[in-house]
Structure 1
Amino acid sequence: MDRVAFLLPGQGTLTGAAGAAAYRLQPSFRAAFDTWRETVRDVCGVDLAPVVDEQAAPGGWFEDTVHQQLGLLVLGHTLGRNLMDLGVTPSALLGNSIGEYTAATLAGVWSPEQAARLVHARATAMRDTEPGRMAAVTASRAELAARLGQAHPGVEVAVAGPGRTVLAGPCAAMDRLLDGDTLDGLDVRLLDVRHAFHSSAMTEAADALRAAVVAEPSQAPALRVVANSTGTWADPEHLRTPDHWARQLRGTVRLESGLTTLLDAGCDLYVELGPGTSTIGALRRHTAWDPAHTTVPFIGAEPDRAEATLLRALGTLWERGAGIDLAELAGTPRPRRRSLPVQSYDPVEPEDDGAHTAGRDASARAPQRSAEPGEGRGGLARTVERLWCAALGVNGASAGDDFLALGGESLSAVTLMGDVRRRTAATVAVADFLADPTFGNLLALVERAGEAAAPPAGTVRLRPGTGRPVFLVADSLDSTAGYQELAAALDTTRPVHGLESAQPLGSSVSHIAGRHVAALRAVQPEGPYTLGGWSFGAVVAQEAARQLTGAGQRVDVLLCLDGYAPDRKGRPVATDPAFLTAQLRLQADVLLGRGTFGAKLARAPRPRRVFLSRIRALLRHRPRPVPCPAVVLTASARPADAARIRRALALLHTSTEIRPVPGDHWSMLTAPHVGAVARETDRAIALHGHTDRTDGEPRP
C-alpha cells in the first residue's frame, strides 16, 4: 500500500448527504465525523448534519459556498484519516481548489480546528465578493486562449484540466462571451455558482485569507502535496505561508499539470475521497493515464448506490492489503462458528487407481449441490470480465460493479461493446448497457444477445410503448446511447427505437441508410414512419426517408436534431464551402486530439476510425429531395443561422420548420437542456404524426 494517491474534489461536487452511507455503516467514520461536527459548530456556527443526514438539509443549503467548502473539508478529512488509521498511507495528495486544504490538513499542516477556521474565513470572503459567472468548456487552455485572444477582457481561466477548462469573470464579461460565437462548436456548461472563483475577482478575498493564514500556526507537511497554483510538488515551507494560499485562491488551478505530477510519481492506486468521480474522471482523460492503474471512488455519483460504492471501495483496499475489519461495518454481525456436514467418501485407498469402480457413474457417488447463479457461464463470464477490466483499469469485476462509478464514460462504453462483439459474437447495444451500467447487466445482455426475445437485428428499444415507433438513427459512432435521456423525457405513449448496427468502414450514407431501412421495416413493415437523428444521424435519417418514400411508403415527419445535409442540387455536400470548412476543422480536432471530443477519440482508436469514416461519407454524400416535412431543432438562437438552414433545405422537403433549443451541439441531448428538446420533439410528433394508423401493425 505504498503507492497510493488521495484525490480530494472541489466545490460543486457536494449536492446531498454524500457521507450518509459511511455514517450508517462505519462506526469509526461516525465517531470522527461527529467530533468534526462539534468543532465546526463551535468554531464556525455551522451544523454539518446535512452532509450525513438526507432529512436535515433545508432548501438551498448545499448552494451556500461556506457549507460546500466546510462539508468537503470534513468529509474528505474524515474518510482520509480513517484510511490512514488502517495503514493506508498516501505517498501523494492532490486536491482541487478547496480540496487542497483537505490535503494540507491530512498532511498535518493544520489541526482540524485550525483548518475549520481557515476554510470558514476563505469561503465567507469568497461569498462576499462581487457577483460573477463560471462556465466549463470542453477545450484545452491553449485552444481557448487562441479563441479568446484580446476580445474578451475580464474573462480568465479558473481551472485548466485535461481537455476541459473552466472560465470565470464578471457577469457582463461572461454574458458577452456566452452570447457570442467565440465558443461555437464546443460543449459549454454554465456552472451553478454566483462568483468568479480563481480569478482576479478574488483579490479582496485573497487579502482577507492572507490575514487568516497569518493568525494560524502551522507545521511542515508530513506528506507530499501537489500545489494547485504550480501543478508541481508544493514546497513544504511555502505551503505554510499566506502567499501560497492567496495565490491559490486568486490564480488558475493547474489541474492537468498537477495530474501529470501525480502520474509521474509512480502511484498505481488512486482513491477519491469525496462526492462523485470528477477527479478520477480528469485523471482518466489525461494522455498519460495507464489503464493498468486502479481507481477507487469512495462515494461515487449515484446516491442510490452509495452503500454499494463504499463497500466496493473498502473491498478493493482490503484486497490490496489494508487492515479493514469488515466486522466493524454496522449491520454486519460477526460470523459464528458452525460445524460442517460430514463428507462421505468411497472406501478406496489413496494409492488405489480406482480400477474397481470402472463402469460406475461417478456422479452418482458425488455429493450433489445446486449451481450458484452464473455458474456454467465460466468461459463467457471470464472473457467479458477481462474486457471489463481492460476498459476500466481494474483488477476484477462483480455483478454490482458500476461502469460509470468506476470512471467509465459513454465513449469508452462504445469501445467496450465493440470489444464484446468481436470476442463473443454477441451484439449489445450501448444504450441497453448504459440503462443499467453494471457488470451483472452486461453479462446478462451478452447471454441474452442471441435469444428470440431480443429486438430485431439493428434496432435498440430505447423506450417501450404502443403504436407506431419513433425511430432515431445512430450517430457518427454507430451508437444510439446519446438518445437515452431524450427517449425518457418524451411525453408520448409511442415506443422509441434506436437504429444501431456496426457498419463497415468506408460505407456511404446511402449504404448505411439502406441497412437501417431494412432493420426498421423488420419492426414496422409499412408506413407511415416517424424518423429522426442527431448530427450525422440526421443526415442518414434523411436518406433513409428518401429510400422509404421511393419504395412507396410515407414518412410523416423527419426530425433533424442539430444536423442536416444542405441541398447542393445533386452535387456532394463538400461543395458547400461553409459546411466543408466546419467538417474539416472537426476532422483536424479529432486527428490532433484537440478539444474534449478529440481527446476522447484519441484514446479510443476504433471509435476514432469509425468517426473519421463517417465524416468522409458525409462529405461525399449527395442529398436528394424527400417528399416529407422536416423539423430542425437547432442549438442556436441566432436568426441568421435559422435563415441559413431554411435556405439550405428549402428544396429538399415539402416544408421545413426551424426551432431553436437550449444548449449547444454536444450538450443539447443531456440535462438540463434535454427537457426542452423533448418538448419540441413532442410538439413536432403531435403536429405531423398525430395518428397512429398503420397499414400494417408493427411487430413486437
Structure 2
Amino acid sequence: MATVTEPGAMLAVRAAHSDITPLLAGYDRVGIAAVNGPDSVVVSGLRDQVHALRDQLLAQGRSAKLLAVDDAFHSPLMDPVLDDFARALGELPAGRMTIPLISTRLGRLATSAELTSASYWVEHLRHSVRFDDAVQCARAAGASVFLEVGPGATLTSLTQDAFASAGIDDALVLSASRRDREGPRALLGALAALHTAGHSVHWDALFGTRRRVDLPTYAFTRRRYWLDFQAGDRTDVAAAGLAAPGHPLLGAVVEHPATGEMVFTHRWSLHSHGWLGDHSVFGAAVVPATAYLDVALSAGAWAGCDSVEELTLEVPLILPPDGDVQLRVVLGAADDTGRRTV
C-alpha cells in the first residue's frame, strides 16, 4: 500500500481565495486545502514550500500561521495514496437519506448517490474543502442556527467570521464543546442559548425526572433579591447618631452639616457577606462590578438621586480569606443641577 513519505505542513492565511491562488503558481507541491471564509483559507503541501510561502506572505504584511499538523491533507502530497484509498473503500452500501446533507466538498446539497460513491471520498481527501460555500448554502436554504458538534469550536469561529464579513447578524452560531470548558457545562450553555433565542429544547430528555422551577420575574416586578438581613455587626447605629441605610452592603450613613456630603460606612468580609465569594477570579474573591453599582444606586437614592450616569472601576477590591475590609462611600455635595459625585 502506498504511503505519504514527504513531510507536509498546513498554513492558515487571512486572505481571500482569489488573492492566494496566483501566489501558488510558483509552488508545484502546494494547494488550497480549504476555503473557510471570504478572507480565510488554508494552504497545504510540501513542508519546505509551505514555509517559503509563509515567509512570502509575512513579507507582504499578511497574516499566516502554521497549523499544528504534520500531514498535508487536500494537497498534491495525497496523490500517492488515492488509488489504495479507493480500493480500501470498495463498494459503499447505499442508504436512505432522511436529513438533507450539505457537502463541504461540493459546497452544496449532496445526493445519496454522491455520498455512497468511493470517488466522492477520494476527491474529498485530495481537493479543497469548500466550507464557506457550504455555510452560505445552508444559509440560503433558510438555516438560522448553526451548532458545531465536535471536539472544539474551530468551525464555530470560522462560521462567525464568515457571517461577520458578509454583514450577517441574525444567525445563531453555537458550539456544543469547548476545549476551555467542561463538556457538560459547554453543552448546557449551547442548549441554554438555543432556548433563550426562542428555539425548542427537549429539556425532559436531558434532565429526566428532575423537577424544574420558574425563574424569579424580577425584570418585571422590580423586586430586589439581596438576602433579606443586615449582615455583620448588628449594633444599633442610631445610638451613635448615625442612620441605617437598610442595605446589606452599607451599614451606616452620616451627613456633613456644613457641606451636605454624605459618608456611608460598613465592613465587608467573606464571613459576613458570604455571597461575595461567589465571584472568584484565580481563586481570589473579587468584589463584582454589580456590587459597586448597587452601592452607588442605594447611596444615591438616600440622597434623592435616582440614577448613576457613569461608573469607572480603576482597581479591583479583593476580599481577604480572613478578616474584613473597611468600606467608606463618600457622596459629594449636590451641584446646581442636583448631581453628586460618589
On whether the aligned pair clears a TM of 0.5, the verdict is yes
What pairs with 1:601-620 in structure 2 (closer than 5 Å)?
Answer: none
1:454 corresponds to which of 299, 308, 314? 314
- 4+ runs of 1 displaced by more than 6 Å? 441-449
Residue pair 1:158, 1:197 contacting (<8 A) in 2 also: yes
Equivalent residue, structure 2, for 1:233:
109
Kindly provide the amino acid, as one letter, of the partner of residue 218 in structure 1: A
Equivalence for 1:243: 119
Q: Cα RMSD (Å) of the superposition?
A: 3.6
- Distance apart, 1:248 and its partner CA: 0.7
5 Å-filtered alignment, 1:313-324, equals 313-318=190-195, 320-324=199-203
What's the secondary structure of 2:26's corresponding residue? coil
2:186 aligns to what? 309
Give 2:84's match in structure 1, choosing from 187, 205, 208: 208
When residues 315 and 149 of structure 1 are mapped into structure 2, their CA distance, relative to the original with a 3 A threshold, is closer
What secondary structure, in the 3-state scheme, does the structure 1 residue paired with 2:104 have?
A: coil
Q: CA deviation at 1:168?
A: 0.9
Question: Who is 2:36 aligned against?
Answer: 161
Letter in 1 for 2:134: G
Residues 451 and 135 of structure 1, relative CA distance in 2, 3 Å threshold: same
How far apart, CA to CA, are the structure 1 residues paired with 2:28 and 2:105?
Answer: 22
Percent identity of the aligned residues?
A: 23
Aligned amino acid, residue 227 of structure 1: S
**Does structure 2 retain, via aligned residues, the 8 Å contact 1:158–1:198?**
yes
Matches within 5 A, 1:172-191: 172-180=48-56, 184-191=60-67
- Return the match for 1:285 from 161, 180, 189: 161
**Structure 1 contact 263–289 (Cα < 8 Å) conserved:** no
CA contact 1:140–1:161 (8 Å) conserved in 2:
no
Matching of residues 474-623 of structure 1 within 5 Å:
none
| Separation in structure 2 between the aligned mates of residue 231 and residue 372 of structure 1, nearest angstrom | 51
CA displacement at 1:239 relative to structure 2 = 1.4
- In structure 2, C-alpha distance between the alignment counterparts of 1:442 and 1:184, rounded to whole Å: 44
Secondary structure (helix, strand or coil) at the match of 2:203 reads: coil
- The alpha-carbon deviation at position 151 of structure 1 amounts to 2.1
Cα deviation per residue 1:462-497 (whole Å; 9 max; x = unaligned)? xx9xxxxxxxxxxxxxxxxxxxxxxxxxxxxxxxxx
Residue type matched to 1:292 in 2?
D
Aligned equivalents of 1:276, 1:373: Cα separation in 2? 38
SS at match of 1:315: helix
CA deviation after TM superposition for structure 1 residue 327, in Å: 6.3
- Contact kept, 8 Å, 2:85 with 2:122, in 1: the verdict is yes
AA aligned to 2:26 is A
Q: Does 1:325 align with 2:200?
A: no
Q: Give the Cα separation in 2 of the matches to 1:309 and 1:336.
A: 20
Distance in 2, Cα, partners of 1:234 & 1:336: 41
- Rg larger in 1 or in 2? 2
Give the Å deviation of 1:221.
2.3
- Residue by residue over 1:294-319, the C-alpha shift from the partner in whole angstroms, topping out at 9 and shown as x without a partner, is 2221112423x543321122334455
Return closer, same or farther for 1:149/1:125 CA change in 2, 3 Å cut-off.
Answer: closer
Deviations 1:359-386 (A, max 9, x none): xxxxxxxxxx983269xxxxxxxxxxxx
SS of the equivalent of 1:188 reads: strand
User: Where does residue 296 of structure 1 map in the other structure?
Assistant: 174
If each structure's helix is expressed as a fraction of its own residues, which one has the higher value? Answer: 1
For residues 70 and 169 of structure 2, the distance between their equivalents in structure 1, rounded to whole angstroms, comes to 37
Q: Structure 1 or 2: larger strand share?
A: 2
Q: Please, what TM-score do these two structures have when normalized by structure 2?
A: 0.58
Structure 2: runs of 5+ lacking an equivalent:
214-221, 228-281, 283-287, 297-308, 319-342
SS in 1 for 2:21: helix
Structure 1: gaps spanning 5 or more residues: 1-123, 338-368, 375-434, 436-440, 456-460, 465-700
Deviation of 1:268 (Å): 1.4
Q: Is the 2:12–2:65 contact (alpha carbons within 8 Å) kept by the matching residues of 1?
A: yes
Counterpart in the other structure of 2:16: 140
Q: Distance in 1 between matches of 2:45 and 2:212?
A: 62
* 3-state SS, counterpart of residue 260 of structure 1: helix
Paired AA for residue 225 in structure 2: E
Larger displacement relative to structure 2 (228-237 or 215-224): 215-224
CA distance in 1, matches of 2:127, 2:71: 14
Q: Equivalent residue for 2:254?
A: none
The corresponding residue for 1:525 is: none
- The alpha-carbon deviation at position 179 of structure 1 amounts to 3.8
Match in the other structure for 1:91:
none
Q: Does 1:131 align with 2:7?
A: yes
Distance 2:212 2:74 in 1: 56
* C-alpha deviation, 1:289, in angstroms: 5.6
State the distance in 1 between where 2:293 and 2:36 align: 36
Tell me, in whole angstroms, the C-alpha distance in 1 between the residues paired with 2:21 and 2:291. 47
**1:394-473 mapped onto 2 (5 Å cutoff):** 450-451=310-311, 453-454=313-314
